[in-house]
A and B are shown apart, each in its own frame.
Chain A
């Protein structure tokens, strides 16, 4: 890597809310000796065989832009939960760096780390992790409390977030008196209480019923829209990842196998594994017109209705169906191509865009 590129990358990561570089977490004897050695190139199974070590996170790098929702998706055992814990050192990473606002978390002193955890980060847990012996309001105020904020002030702030997440009237309840969905609202409120720069959500809705889960997803989208927090969201649910994520990283065996926008992941799976994952996703719900716009054939006029390239195919299809001929796709005022109902049908019928590109 040239010095210039390195400098450019430095610059980029300095602007990022979180910047992760070559992060490793290895469990087992002599865990330190794996990263940066030839052992690092071994597959997970071979590494276990040869050294007795398990690499839960393997050489993971990514940047999260301020205000972005970055989703890490993978099946159980893919290392996603370990990864998110490494970001706040709830699990101590083996190698690599994690920069938050340009500051390396991994070299922070215990006191500085606590400081960061109290003010910059907050986390939401799959099983809520509420303190059963405290009222809702004192659960929410906990991180303010350990940071030495006076009782009046922290209760005032806690009451604000209680309103924000729709827990009005529950301040004096105890966690065991609430349903799962309500408990996770407390979890969300607790994470919002310190007004953090970054929220880490570790499968926050996996333990909830499907209907409640949908409500909570919408709640998170609303909060994100209103508050603009940077979020790292862990899930094993692809639909959830596509719904919430600005970008998605797909993990397998501790490594990131693909990173991109929902449309990129669904439209261009990096390998068989990802392709297998996204096979059943209704592509019209994910892909935009940009993915299927094509150069007009001879005789196709550009006088039909105009639609933005960023429109989801699903949302565009009523217009396309109504149109007598081709619909013109524009981006930034420029025509980028046309789409007809045939093109839409081809996507809906499950023909993958990748396959279509190959045949043409």
Chain B
């Protein structure tokens, strides 16, 4: 143990030496060879990308790749999504309502949720959907819901069989794994532009982007569900002569039910959060007002739309988990309950049908009533509250912002972006070498040189400085809250709804209030990153601390440790693996949000991606920035991953 500690200490000592030398040299050569480039300036690579994009745009109607591949996919996806929109959100030409008016939609949702879970969740769901109408965003909410449901259906259609197959077959898993891993580190923003390029801005591109995000999640959880089954029953079923198909349908899938439903749940929430972001490439629905709120700073409308997203998220989350996840039992309801439920189902079906018919016949049931629509008032009220809050606490928020920026953000940015590029590359490569080993160091160096040759070095370093700082903050928050939650069941219960909400909400939604509080600054992006990543890190750390064997803790207490000693000498070291995993996840989550932070003035790569989307002459720059983000993500992930693995090996 002492030897391990010695080695570890040596690693940190080495890193500190590298940092020290780097800081000295960076100060000496400050401002030299920073490769700073104005947004509008193209490099040969970005110019080439711009021309490539232009030629793709020009060839959409002639190139065989479009005629036989991209266009049919686009039309197919569109043909699938549009009927769902026509049903609940998009009136046909000359009509004022879609096929179903609001009452019909509410009743249908209530009935489906009742059928899949229980009455309480059903009532909650109906209330939440009506809440969207009260917020004055009924049509947008229905668009988001339609897009989400369509994407979920397609995700499950593709992801579920693949996931089961990958769960049963190691070779399939090995084949899919690199793609799944990449999907996990790929920040959502980066594939919007390329998809919009080939599938045009609109419903199809938005849906396909959503699928790219949600299918890997579906595959991963489904495969895990099949893989993590208890071996005993599966072996027993084999010993009784089941065919592989019988084994799957009679044993593995029924036993995996809980985790499979969790997969549906996670896929649904992922799809919802992505549909909101996909407004950037033309997804209809609630994402649009949120983006408008961010760019023209209409806080009230943005928050109202954000609130509707929250309503939908809670509704979809409860509807996909409620009844099943509450009980770990396989025992179904008894006779009396079953009869009650059957009556409920039949009665509900009749009531739903009546509501659906009414919603096509009567105006009050078709169009969400004005008397119930408090959208304008709520929006105005939220604006006032935020304004009051911002002005009242300005000394605090702007002070915090200024202090953080001056003391931490600026120095770090100066070190990374404000010194010669080759010095930074050497320093980061050395750190990668010490933490992750030779292979990772070589990979990092190659990726960084690639970024330099694309002409995006300076922007990448600006993004990196924000990512690193946000990760440090996330880890501090995560460890403190994680240890508290891991040690006390009560604290965990208190934190759970907050963590659930944090993991359920699309990152986009809390950009609005944070922007209002801190203005369009890099600090705002960092705060968003922290909010977004903290729940995951807290969860991972808490699980790690909880996973420390209780006799280990008891032994420490019995030998007279104080609480602090138990935490620092037993629980944290023993859950080191979770801490490193948390750091890795934290990095990736933070990166995804910092990039979106480009919308709120964080600058860097995210900003380039976003302007690239809105200004044709900057398309090349935007696409290249996307590539740079991917490079940065891979580099950070590999370094974190490798250092976690090395630590793991040493402690064995």
Residue numbers of A with Cβ under 8 A of B are 88, 90, 113-119, 121-123, 125, 127-133, 142-143, 145-147, 174-177, 190, 194
B41 lies within 8 A of chain A by Cβ? no
Identify which of residues 328-376 in chain B touch chain A, using a CB-to-CB cut-off of 8 Å. Answer: 329-331
Return chain A residues, CB-CB under 8 Å to B241.
113-119, 143, 146-147
CA distance A123 to B257 in the complex (A): 26
Return chain A residues, CB-CB under 8 Å to B329.
174, 176
Return chain B residues, CB-CB under 8 Å to A145.
250
CA distance A114 to B240 in the complex (A): 8
Return chain A residues, CB-CB under 8 Å to B255.
131-133
CA distance A125 to B230 in the complex (A): 13
The residue in chain B whose Cβ has the minimal distance to the Cβ of A194 is: B240
Return chain B residues, CB-CB under 8 Å to A121.
239
Given contacts A90-B239, A122-B240, A146-B243, 5 further A-B contacts (CB under 8 A): A88-B239, A90-B235, A125-B235, A125-B236, A133-B255
**Min CB–CB distance A25 → chain B (angstroms):** 16
CA distance A127 to B236 in the complex (A): 10
Chain B: interface residue total (CB-CB under 8 A) = 20
Is A125 a contact of B330 with CB atoms below 8 Å?
Answer: no
B116 lies within 8 A of chain A by Cβ? no
B254 lies within 8 A of chain A by Cβ? yes
Quick one: which of B233, B239, B254 contacts A122, CB cutoff 8 A? B239
Of B233, B243, B331, most A-chain CB atoms within 10 Å = B233
Return chain A residues, CB-CB under 8 Å to B257.
133
B242 lies within 8 A of chain A by Cβ? yes
The residue in chain B whose Cβ has the minimal distance to the Cβ of A193 is: B240
Return chain A residues, CB-CB under 8 Å to B235.
90, 125, 129
**Min CB–CB distance A321 → chain B (angstroms):** 50
CA distance A47 to B613 in the complex (A): 63
The residue in chain B whose Cβ has the minimal distance to the Cβ of A116 is: B241
Is B236 a contact of A130 with CB atoms below 8 Å?
Answer: yes
Is A174 a contact of B239 with CB atoms below 8 Å?
Answer: no
CA distance A132 to B331 in the complex (A): 8
Is A176 a contact of B331 with CB atoms below 8 Å?
Answer: yes
B570 lies within 8 A of chain A by Cβ? no
A177-B331 contact, Cβ under 8 Å, with A118-B240, A132-B233: yes
CA distance A145 to B239 in the complex (A): 14
A117-B240 contact, Cβ under 8 Å, with A129-B232, A133-B257: yes
Return chain B residues, CB-CB under 8 Å to A129.
232-233, 235-237
Is B240 a contact of A142 with CB atoms below 8 Å?
Answer: yes
A123-B233 contact, Cβ under 8 Å, with A132-B255, A133-B254, A133-B257: no
B33 lies within 8 A of chain A by Cβ? no
Is A174 a contact of B331 with CB atoms below 8 Å?
Answer: yes
**Min CB–CB distance A174 → chain B (angstroms):** 5
The residue in chain B whose Cβ has the minimal distance to the Cβ of A120 is: B241
**Min CB–CB distance B527 → chain A (angstroms):** 46
Query: Could you list 11 examples of A-B contacts with CB < 8 Å?
Result: A88-B239, A90-B239, A113-B241, A114-B241, A129-B233, A129-B235, A129-B237, A146-B243, A177-B331, A190-B236, A190-B240
Is A146 a contact of B232 with CB atoms below 8 Å?
Answer: no
Quick one: which of A88, A90, A113, A132 contacts B330, CB cutoff 8 A? A132
Return chain A residues, CB-CB under 8 Å to B243.
114, 146
**Min CB–CB distance A354 → chain B (angstroms):** 40
CA distance A123 to B240 in the complex (A): 8
Of B232, B237, B241, B243, most A-chain CB atoms within 10 Å = B241
**Min CB–CB distance A30 → chain B (angstroms):** 20
The residue in chain A whose Cβ has the minimal distance to the Cβ of B253 is: A133
Return chain A residues, CB-CB under 8 Å to B246.
146
Of A114, A119, A129, A194, most B-chain CB atoms within 10 Å = A129
The residue in chain B whose Cβ has the minimal distance to the Cβ of A142 is: B240
